[in-house]
């Protein structure tokens, strides 16, 4: 089935120490954490997009009787709409460095949303006692590289995760893949999954000569890495000059390079309190008194700042 849907069906094969081919190293400690996420009891157990399961055995490792069930599950899930797109890139050096970019094309709450990154090795020829035969183990879990919270929730937002790992001498490096999953840990629903063979990763998405993990604008060509406000976000992808949009300078005006705080900034703040409209460069500079609330007290604090000349 994996070969029938190579682009849209992504799998991981987990092994406990009790169920692993003899003399193999398929069992990893992370098995128990992942199994407990779904309350895995009876083995074998398949979990589809985190929410649909099949439990039950098969004679001598023959999955054929389950194919119609699996196909029905696949067809019910594939091409569901999702707000998330996942891109996996990186390069192989002394170790393997990877970067995962999550992008949203519609809004969804980030509550309980997590990104997990797994390492698998595909097509491991091994002898299975229970089936008395050799079998190609597919996408065997080799490591759980990363588990982190997603913070993005709105259309157009992106979030970037990086990491690295070492290849084991016992692995076939041609068959090693990285799998990234966006999953809600409350409902267990998987919202998107992507995989890439480590030999197919792109180390420099925008082809500007700066590898992704060192590029201050990952997907915009900027070979000179200009960063006017020294915030590690390159100018082409940094809409807010932090040297201009300092605390209180809501309209972003400057005189001879220096931000100007005046009554026009006060009016901008008052406008925000009335209609809640602001642009992204204003969001972090309206909380004048630093109390996590933006209200009339900030207006008073801003007026005080202007009158006393504080910056």
Partner 1 sequence: MKKTVFIFAISLSFGQGLDKMDILISDLEEILRNSSRSFQNVFVEDFTGLQ
Give the SS3 label for residue 141: strand
Residues ≥6 apart with Cβ < 8 Å to 160: 99, 100, 101, 102, 218
Q: Is 12 in the site for partner 1 (CB under 8 A)?
A: yes
- Residues binding partner 1: number (CB under 8 A): 56
Evaluated on CA atoms 18, 19, 25, 31, the torsion sign reads: negative
Tell which positions 75-94 bind partner 1, by CB under 8 A.
Answer: 77-85
Binding characters for partner 1, 211-230, by CB under 8 A (x = yes)? --------------------
Judged by CB, which is closer to partner 1: 83, or 234? 83
- Residue 134 CA to its chain's centroid (Å): 36
Q: Which of 91, 98, 165, 191 binds partner 1 (CB under 8 A)?
A: 191
Is the separation of the CB atoms in 162 and 213 below 8 Å? yes
Judged by CB, which is closer to partner 1: 194, or 233? 194
Q: Which of 122, 125, 176, 192 binds partner 1 (CB under 8 A)?
A: 192
Q: Which of 9, 167, 260, 306 binds partner 1 (CB under 8 A)?
A: 9
**Of 131, 130, 142, the residue nearest 26 (C-alpha):** 142
Write down the least CB distance from residue 141 to partner 1, Å.
Answer: 9
Binding characters for partner 1, 100-139, by CB under 8 A (x = yes)? -----xx---------------------xxxx---x----
Is the separation of the CB atoms in 268 and 251 below 8 Å? yes
Length of the chain (residues): 311
CA distances from 94 to 89, 91, 167, 192 (A): 16, 10, 9, 30
Q: Which of 28, 47, 121, 252 binds partner 1 (CB under 8 A)?
A: 47
Tell which positions 229-268 bind partner 1, by CB under 8 A.
Answer: none
Q: Is 209 in the site for partner 1 (CB under 8 A)?
A: no
The tokens 């020829």 sit on which residue?
125
Tell which positions 278-297 bind partner 1, by CB under 8 A.
Answer: none
Q: Which of 48, 144, 161, 171 binds partner 1 (CB under 8 A)?
A: 48
**Of 222, 214, 204, 26, the residue nearest 124 (C-alpha):** 26
Q: Tell me the CB-side half-sphere exposure of residue 216, using CA atoms within 13 A.
A: 16
Q: Tokens for 66? A: 């389950």
Q: Which of 146, 152, 193, 305 binds partner 1 (CB under 8 A)?
A: 193
Write down the least CB distance from residue 21 to partner 1, Å.
Answer: 6
Q: Which residues contact partner 1 by CB under 8 A?
A: 5, 7-16, 18-22, 31, 34-35, 38, 40, 43-50, 57, 61, 70, 73-74, 77-85, 105-106, 128-131, 135, 181, 190-194
């Amino acid at each position: 089935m994996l070969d029938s849907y190579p682009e849209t069906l992504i799998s991981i094969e987990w092994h406990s120490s009790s169920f692993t081919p003899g003399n193999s190293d398929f069992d990893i400690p992370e098995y128990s954490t992942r199994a407990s996420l779904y309350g895995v009891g009876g083995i074998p157990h398949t979990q589809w997009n985190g929410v649909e399961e099949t439990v039950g055995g098969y004679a001598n490792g023959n999955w054929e009787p389950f194919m119609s069930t699996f196909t029905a599950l696949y067809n019910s899930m594939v091409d569901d709409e999702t707000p998330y797109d996942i891109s996996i890139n990186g390069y192989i050096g002394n170790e393997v460095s990877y970067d995962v970019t999550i992008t949203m094309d519609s809004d969804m709450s980030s509550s309980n949303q997590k990104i997990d990154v797994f390492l698998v090795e595909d097509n491991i020829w091994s002898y299975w006692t229970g089936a008395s035969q050799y079998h190609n183990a597919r996408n065997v879990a080799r490591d759980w590289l990363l588990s982190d919270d997603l913070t993005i929730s709105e259309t157009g937002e992106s979030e970037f995760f990086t990491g690295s790992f070492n290849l084991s001498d016992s692995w076939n490096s041609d068959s090693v893949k990285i799998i990234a999953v966006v999953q809600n840990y409350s409902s267990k629903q998987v919202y998107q999954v992507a995989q890439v063979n480590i030999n197919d990763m792109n180390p420099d998405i925008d082809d500007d000569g700066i590898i992704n993990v060192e590029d201050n604008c990952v997907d915009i060509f900027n070979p000179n890495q200009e960063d006017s406000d020294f915030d590690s976000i390159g100018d082409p992808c940094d809409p807010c000059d932090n040297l201009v949009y300092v605390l209180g300078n809501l309209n972003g005006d400057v005189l001879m390079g220096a931000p100007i705080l005046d009554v026009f900034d006060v009016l901008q703040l008052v406008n925000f309190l009335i209609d809640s409209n602001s642009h992204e460069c204003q969001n972090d500079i309206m909380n004048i008194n630093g109390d996590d609330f933006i209200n009339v007290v900030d207006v008073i604090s801003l007026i005080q700042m202007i009158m006393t000349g504080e910056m």
